[in-house]
């Protein structure tokens, strides 16, 4: 699993190359078992039933904040 830091743009695993995917910015690490995400496209994220807190095993980094 890659290390995800605050400010990284993330999506769900397996949807990196899809056209319609939920994109979010990692706001903070809530605990070791969940991250707080700000979803950029709320309509698509509600279609995938995503809340504010997501398990890090389900996330994939699209773009890093500190490149």
Q: Write the CA distances from 38 to 6, 14, 32, integer angstroms.
A: 11, 19, 18
Q: What is the pLDDT of residues 4-58, one digit of tens each?
A: 889 999 999 988 788 889 999 999 988 778 899 999 998 998 888 888 898 889 9
How is the beta sheet containing 59-63 ordered, strand by strand? Answer: 53-54, 34-39, 24-31, 9-12, 59-63
Strand partners, 60: 11
CB 60 within 8 A of CB 13: yes
Does the pTM surpass 0.85? The reply is no
Phi then psi for residue 19, to 5 deg, are -75, -45
């Amino acid at each position: 699993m890659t290390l995800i830091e605050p400010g990284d743009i993330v999506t769900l695993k397996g949807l990196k190359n899809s056209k319609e995917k939920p994109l979010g910015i990692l706001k903070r690490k809530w605990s070791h078992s969940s991250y707080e995400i700000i979803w950029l496209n709320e309509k698509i994220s509600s279609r995938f039933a995503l809340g504010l807190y997501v398990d890090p095993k389900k996330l994939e980094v699209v773009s890093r904040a500190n490149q």
